Amino acid sequence: MEPIAMASSVLGLFRSGTIESLTAIKSIQKCGFTRAVAERMIEGEKKSIEKIASSCGDESCGCETKAIDDVDLQPTEEMAELAERGLRLREEHGRGGTEVGVARARDISNRSNLSPETISRMSSFFARHRVDLDAPAADPGHDEYPSAGVVAWLLWGGDPANPDEAGAAWADRKVAEIEGESEKVYEWPKSVRKYRLGIEGLSSDFARVKAEQGEPSADEDIREDEKQTPAMEISSTVSDGLAEVQKTLIAAIESGEIASVPGKADDKRRDVQVRKILKTLAGLEGKILDDLVASISKAAAGGGSAGIARVNELLSGAGSGKVGSPAVSEALAKAIQKRAGLIAKAVVQDTVKRFVGSLDLTFSIQGEVARLQSLGDLSPSRAETIARTESANAYHEGQIDAWKESGAVREKHFLKAPGACPFCDAVEKRYGEKAKALAVDAPMVRGGETITANGKTLTPKFDSPGIVHPNCRCDFIPVIEGL
């Protein structure tokens, strides 16, 4: 394969989340590029991913690292030995695991820290492939031992002789630790929690609040039938959409409608395949767009009502009259339409293109179907990240829009969320209640500026209305004239 085509396949794998940046950089180097060029290619890819989906994926961001700072992500000595053995057996017998699996086994045998995404994939690999160890050739006494399943199990740092231990037990434990740590961080400021829970709450948020309170209070009464928040709608629209795309891709792979195309004619033939699949999926993108516009608009309207309710709380505390709720402005409605369009495109067109574009590195139909199925395992978390980010953005935009349209609020202060990261601390130092006020519609971080905290830097690519980084749950305090 041409080096360029090879490198773009690697970029495809990186983009789909199948491999991490370090592995991607190493694989691109293998195509004959220098490390510096490979790093630049991955850097560029990261930027374009951020632009397309609102998911974070940026290691320098800090939103993920904060959550898992306290979790040890280094594979154990035992896992390193098992992965090493897997690599040796694969070399010897020529079966088991993909190139991606080999690269990852090297990371495990070097005991490099694994990313939370890799660990979650590891945990679902062990759960899904347990059955492979029942095959005859998985028995050390069999002629064909070791089976491909045994080698793959070892490559992941698992012990085929004790499937509940080693890598499998480690991955499950780490997934639980990471989830525990992440939950601690994701909290809204107390004064706005009831509003934001009703807009941005996902089932894990409701479970957390319920566990915390024991009995639901009058304010935050969580009845099962009321649990359909705009964020939940966004999440199910995205995951249903991804499931539909996945189903179509699996059918196309199995029927031979799409296949790997080696050689120079790659791009054209790939385009033909992509167009065919998108034709099968005609209508899906439009439906996703409509559903997203409805849910995001609901979130923005909810943010508007919340913003006005907060202003009225302050006014009535001071014995002043009430402000009425203005309608969502035309400019905001337009912005919502545009963002929903980008997400719908990311879910349908970009997923199909990414998949077809990455077909050259792996070869078997079974392998591709398995990869697509694992894409399905990831889609709920991708859908949830999109839902969190979009509903939070819409809440902020709605609130700012309503503050501005009502004429009651001209300035605001930054309100840090409990457990917020050092970057949010830095923003609070600038614009918190004791610091300078911001104009009501001014972003508190600007695209291209650099925020430094604890030796790490965050450089947002765009102005942000309300969130410092994905998963940020900070807020604002309205400054009301005369109060």
| Residue numbers at the binding site for Zn ion (CB under 5 A) | 420-421, 423-424, 468, 472, 474
Q: Which is nearer to Zn ion, 298 or 416 (CB)?
A: 416
* Structure-token match 């492939």, residue found: 129
Identity of the residue, 364 or 454, whose beta carbon is nearer to Zn ion in the bound complex: 454
Whole-number Å distance between alpha carbons of 259 and 124: 26
| Pick 300 or 474: Cβ nearer Zn ion | 474
Report which of 36, 37, 26, 174 is spatially closest to residue 102, judged by C-alpha positions: 26
Question: Measured from the CB of residue 421, what is the shortest distance to Zn ion in angstroms?
Answer: 3
How far is Cα 464 from Cα 459, in angstroms, rounded to an integer? Answer: 12
Instruction: In angstroms, give the least distance from the CB of 120 to Zn ion.
Output: 22
Question: How far is Cα 426 from Cα 418, in angstroms, rounded to an integer?
Answer: 14
Q: Which residue, 45 or 187, has its beta carbon nearer to Zn ion? A: 187
Residue 296 vs 472, nearer CB to Zn ion: 472
- Closest contact distance (angstroms) between CB of 63 and Zn ion is 6
In this structure, the number of other CB atoms found within 10 A of the CB of residue 381 comes to 16
**Min. distance of Cβ 422 from Zn ion in angstroms?**
8
Q: How far is the CB of 466 from Zn ion (least distance, A)?
A: 9
Min CB(464)–Zn ion separation in Å? 10
Please identify, using beta-carbon distances, which residue of 101 and 470 lies nearer to Zn ion: 470
Here the tokens at position 467 are 């969130």
Q: Which CB sits closer to Zn ion, 323 or 468?
A: 468
Query: What's the closest the beta carbon of residue 170 comes to Zn ion, in angstroms?
Result: 29
Query: Between 141 and 455, whose beta carbon lies closer to Zn ion?
Result: 455
Minimum gap (Å) between residue 427 Cβ and Zn ion: 7
